[in-house]
Each structure stands twice: as C-alpha cells, then as structure tokens.
Amino acid sequence: MYRSHVLVCGGTGCTSSGSPKIIDLLKDEVKKAGLKDEVAVVQTGCHGLCALGPIVVVYPEATFYSLVKPEDVPEIVSEHLLKGRIVNRLVYKENDQDEIIKSINETDFYKKQYRIALRNCGVINPENIDEYIAMNGYEALGKVLTEYTPDQVIQIILDSGLRGRGGGGFPTGLKWKLAKGNDADQKYVCCNADEGDPGAFMDRSVLEGDPHVVLEAMAIAGYAIGASQGYIYVRAEYPIAVQRLKLAIDQAREYGLLGKNIFNSGFDFDIDLRLGAGAFVCGEETALMTSIEGNRGEPRPRPPFPAQKGLFEKPTILNNVETYANIPQIILNGAEWFASMGTEKSKGTKVFALGGKIQNTGLVEIPMGTTLREVVEEIGGGIPGGKKFKAAQTGGPSGGCIPAEHFDIPIDYDNLISIGSMMGSGGLIVMDEDNCMVDIAKFFLQFTVDESCGKCTPCRIGTKRLYELLDKITKGNGTLEDLDRLEQLCYYIKENALCGLGQTAPNPVLSTLRYFKDEYIAHVTDKKCPAGVCKALLSYTIDPDKCKGCTLCARICPNSAIQGKVKEAHVIDQSKCIKCGACMEKCRFGAISKR
C-alpha cells in the first residue's frame, strides 16, 4: 500500500506540454528521496483542464498542481511528498484573488460535473488492465453473459433512455433491437472514433484515459445483437489513443475478455482497429463502413439502414465512443439510475469540449438539462477580459450558434434543435463580442467545403456556392439579394444532400442569419464589420490628440502606409494600408484604432 499517489495527466494536451518528462523526473526524485515504497507515480488520462498542463494531482489530499515545469518537480517531492507541505505557488487557483487551496473536486470546474463516461479518466492508468478491473471493469460484461439474455440487455438499454452521443441522438437500445431482429450468419459491432469536428476531443480523451470501457461495451453490444466481431474506426491523427487501444485489446485477449468462450459462456467476440485518414465524412455511419471495407469513404443511400445491411452488407450497429462509455455503468447500476438523470427526453449526462473565449478550456461532463449559462459562467469560469457572451457554437460544422437570448436554455437534444442548433458530438465553442458571426459561418462553411466527399451535387457544389456568397459579403461586395440567395440555397442543400453531414452543413449559416441578421445587413449596407474582424471592411486611423510622433508605427508598417514627422501626429494612407494591424499592436499610447 502506498501512502500517496501522484497522478500525472498523460492525455494529448499534457503530453504536448511535456508531461512524460515530468513523470520521469517525479519517479527519479521519489527514488532519490527514499520514497519509492511509499509514493506511486501514475500516468493517467485527461483530467479535463487541458490548458493548464502538465497537471499533477497528489492523493489522498487531491491537491491540484497545474502548469508544472521540470524545475518544479524536486520542490513537489521534497516539500509535499517528504515534508507534507503543499507548494502553494503551483496550486491551481480559480482566480487571482483566490487564496483558498481547494482539492480538485472542490473547484467550480469540477463540483457541478457528474462523471459517467469520464469516470476513470484522470483516475486510473489506462495502460494497466488491472486498474480498470479494480474500478469494476468487465464486471458488467460478466453480469450480462451469466445473468441476462440478449433481449434483457437490449431492454435495459431501452429503459435507460440512452441516446447516441455522436450527433443525431438516435435511441441506442432501439438501434440494437433493430440489428438483433435481422437474422444473418455474421453481424458486426462498430465504434465511431473518427472525431472530426473542429474543437472536439471528447472521444479522444475517453480512448486515451479509459480504453477498456469501450472494449467492454462493444462486447456487451455484440452479445445483445448476436455479433462476434467488432471494429473500432479511429483516426490515425490520434497516436496516443491508437497505441492505448492496441495495448488494451492485447491485454483483454490475454485475460480471456476478448476472443473465444468469454467467461465460459460460449460467447465469442473479438475487436480489431481500422485507422481513418482524417476524412470528416467518415464520421457518417455508411461512409465509415465503406472505408472499413477498404473503399473510398463515401456515404450510401438509406434505406437499407446499417441494422439491416451495413458493414460487408451484414447487420451492423455503430455507436460512438461516448455512447459506449455509458453502457457498463448502465448495466451495473440499472436503467432507472441512468434515467433518473437529465431531462424527460434526454437522459444521463453529456461530455462537452469547452473551447473558444472561455477561462477554463477543457473537457466537462454534465447532466442533461444543465443550462448554457451554468456551463459557461460557473464550470467554464466565464469569458476572459470582462467581455460579454455573444454566442456558443454547438455541434461543430453541423450545428448552429446559440445567442445570448438563449443563455439560460437547458442543454438537451430537443431544446437545441428547437433553436436551430444541435448537440452533435459535443464541441462547445464560446464566442464574445469580438467575434463576427458572418465570419464564424464562413469558417465552418470553409471546413465543410474542404471535407465534402463530393459524391452528391447539393453538398459538393451547394456548399461551395454558399461559401462564395459569404466571402463576397465579408469583402464588402454583398447585396441584400445575396442574403435571400443564402437562405434559399441553405434550404435546398438541407432537403437534397445525400447524407446527414451535407444536410446539416447549412446550419451555421441559418442560425447566424436567424439571430444575427443585423450583422449581415451591416456588412452589406454599411460596408462595416461591427466586430472589427473582416479585414476588407476595416480601416485603421490615428487619433492626432493621442499620437506622440514616436515614429514606431511608421517604422514597422510593412507597406510604408504611415507618414509623419518626429513629434508630430502621424497619418495612415488608406490606399496603401493592407490592414495587418501591426501598427495598432505596437502603439504604446493607444493612438491607433480600427473600425
């Protein structure tokens, strides 16, 4: 038994910040201090506060150290681990005035969360199957194989109210029931780990922090529908997730938890990996299956649906990582337990990747029905610099923007759809008053244009034409008629695109037109960008009363657009100005402004 456990985040964010070196140094310093038999240093998955890495948490106190540097390690060992004195300067504080040292679970970021999918992330070593088993891992699989029939398993998932966490929110139990009802000599269970939305990293964090939960859930799904083979389709850009999945599969096979006759039940099930090349369209279920088959990843017309004819034309179910991560806990705790959380039509919790203009960038898991205001202001810590909340983008390129007027909306599937957005996989990007909503719509359309597979004309050509209209507007060349064309084209694409990705591609445009039409009109009629973002519509000016004539702006201007003598007010030649903003950035007297 160890008296202290030092948990160090080994997720992608902290790894890129140098956490592997921190781990090695901690082990060396613990050994030097003679604490090797008393203190365990453990690499874990993501703790959630991704911008604060490397993160080190010392238990049993749950002291939360952030932004730890290699030179800080000897002090943590000598002071905290050896002498029992917390290193105050490294402790995470929620604001500059906060003098109270809180355990990780007492912080505002964590105390409103309820972790089911993320329950083991940041807690166990994801590369050690014994640690997963110690947290009741594979107990649900054993229970299913020895106590329940496949129909009973499906009924539990139906009664829980679990809906797919990958986008559309289709009832998980119903999907399993449909697949079980189709007889075939072979069926498949697939996992969508091809997380492609900008700003989304929920599935990656689960795979990096708790890979066995996905394997266990897929085996349960295989038993429920009568499948013997599973495939995890994971993007190759997730090297840590891929490596830990491979290790987890090997360990599960070695322990007899994958393969033949699992738990002596006569049930056979195995899992293989397939690496995706980063095509966004392969997040769509039929395109993903086409890619697994070795073909170009393009969607197929439906019906037939995958539950009837999916992978290799056999009955197939596909759920994403987060959906599977809920399954073992539902089996162990019961359908009523899961259904008691959330709202009437959206049960359980949802993981969100918080990003954008937010104090606490990272990963959060909240009960369905939590308001957007709670997520942004309480869990997320609010918007930096005293700026005002303007909008939040949910659902990535397939979602929409939620304006400030809906700041208190409870987050669930139906509420978001009713205001022109959608849950999507769980990216949540916060925007403040400095964001231009026309530019935001243009950004997401650019992504969709680049990622369209090109199979259907409405998506291949339609999104391109949408982008061209938005580009025209942001350059000050748009007309009021263009706004009408934008809306018409959006509805045409929604009604005629082949797959869900094409059908939802216009959502960012429609939602910004709905809630921020005044910004579009300002771009078109006034030739101004109210947020000061669209470069073609900006002009930089120098206030003669504030200018000291230091000449710094003139010296750094790359196009010699600024003229003036020493100690005299300078002037910007608008015909030469390329609107780079270098002058405004360097001015020490606040004399330069943009409008």
From CA 135, how far away is CA 124, in angstroms rounded? 9
DSSP code per residue over 174-237: HHHHHHHTS--S--EEEEEE---STT--HHHHHHHH-HHHHHHHHHHHHHHHT--EEEEEEETT
Q: At 274, phi and psi to the nearest 5?
A: -130, 130
**Looking at residue 292, what is its pLDDT?**
96
Residue in this structure with the two tokens 């957007």, named with its chain if needed: 372
pLDDT in tens, 155-203: 999 999 999 998 778 999 999 999 999 999 999 999 999 988 887 889 9
Residue 188 and residue 310 in contact, taking contact as beta carbons nearer than 8 Å = yes
Task: Report pLDDT for 221.
Answer: 98
pLDDT of amino acid 424 = 79
Terminal Cα distance for the chain, rounded: 64
What pLDDT is attached to residue 95?
Answer: 67
Long-range contacts of 330-334 (CB under 8 A, 24+ apart): 330/156, 330/157, 330/160, 330/162, 331/140, 331/143, 331/144, 331/153, 331/156, 331/220, 332/136, 332/139, 332/140, 332/143, 334/156
* Segment 56-59 long-range contacts (CB within 8 Å, at least 24 positions apart): 56/6, 56/7, 56/8, 56/9, 56/22, 56/26, 57/6, 57/7, 57/104, 57/122, 58/4, 58/5, 58/6, 58/7, 59/4, 59/5, 59/6, 59/7
CA nearest neighbour of 478 among 523, 516, 512, 442: 523
Query: Would you say 311 and 268 are in contact if contact means Cβ atoms under 8 Å apart?
Result: no
41 DSSP β-pair partners:
6
User: pLDDT, tens digit, for every residue of 444-498?
Assistant: 999 999 988 889 999 999 999 999 999 999 999 999 999 999 999 999 999 999 9
Residue among 440, 444, 463 nearest 523 (CA): 440
Position 98 scores a pLDDT of 62
The encoded tokens of residue 315 equal 């009955």
CA distance 431 to 531: 11
Cα–Cα dist 361/379, whole Å: 10
CA dist 448 and 467 (Å) reads 9
Question: What integer pLDDT is reported at residue 358 of this predicted model?
Answer: 93
- How many Cα neighbours within 13 Å face the side chain of 404? 10
Residues in CB range of 244: below 8 A, 6 or more apart:
126, 127, 207, 208, 211
Which among 536, 526, 540 has a CA at the least distance from the CA of 584? 540
304: preceding bond cis by omega (within 30 degrees): yes
Which of 140, 142, 133 has its CA nearest to residue 265? 142
**Domains of the chain, each with CATH number or no CATH:** 4-111 (3.40.30.10), 129-339 (3.40.50.11540), 349-432 (3.10.20.600), 437-526 (1.20.1440.230), 539-594 (3.30.70.20)
Q: Is 521 helix (H, G, I), strand (E, B) or coil?
A: helix
The Cα 503–Cα 505 span in angstroms is: 6
Residue 224 has a pLDDT of: 97
| Cβ-proximal residues to 461 (8 Å cutoff; 6+ apart), any chain | none
Q: Is 64 helix (H, G, I), strand (E, B) or coil?
A: strand
Q: What does each of the 595 residues of the chain score in pLDDT, given as a tens digit?
A: 899 999 999 999 999 999 999 999 999 999 999 999 999 999 999 999 988 989 999 999 999 999 999 999 999 999 999 999 999 999 988 766 666 667 788 888 888 899 999 999 999 999 999 999 999 999 999 999 999 999 999 999 999 999 999 877 899 999 999 999 999 999 999 999 998 888 788 999 999 999 999 999 999 999 999 999 999 999 999 999 999 999 999 999 999 999 999 999 999 999 999 999 888 899 899 999 999 999 999 999 889 999 999 999 999 999 999 999 999 999 999 999 999 999 999 999 999 999 999 999 999 999 999 999 999 999 999 999 889 999 999 888 888 899 999 999 999 999 998 998 888 778 899 999 999 999 999 999 999 999 888 899 999 999 999 999 999 999 999 999 999 999 999 999 999 999 888 899 999 999 999 999 999 999 999 999 999 899 888 889 999 999 999 999 999 999 999 999 999 999 999 889 998 889 999 999 999 988 7
116: Cα within 13 Å, side-chain hemisphere: 28
**d(Cα 489, Cα 243) in Å, to the nearest integer?**
44
> Is beta strand 4-9 parallel, antiparallel or unpaired with respect to 56-59?
antiparallel
Cα-trace Rg, the chain: 27
Q: What is the pLDDT of residue 425?
A: 77
Return the beta strands (E) in 442-493 as ranges.
none
Percentages helix, strand, coil for the chain (3-state, rounded to 5) are: 45, 15, 40
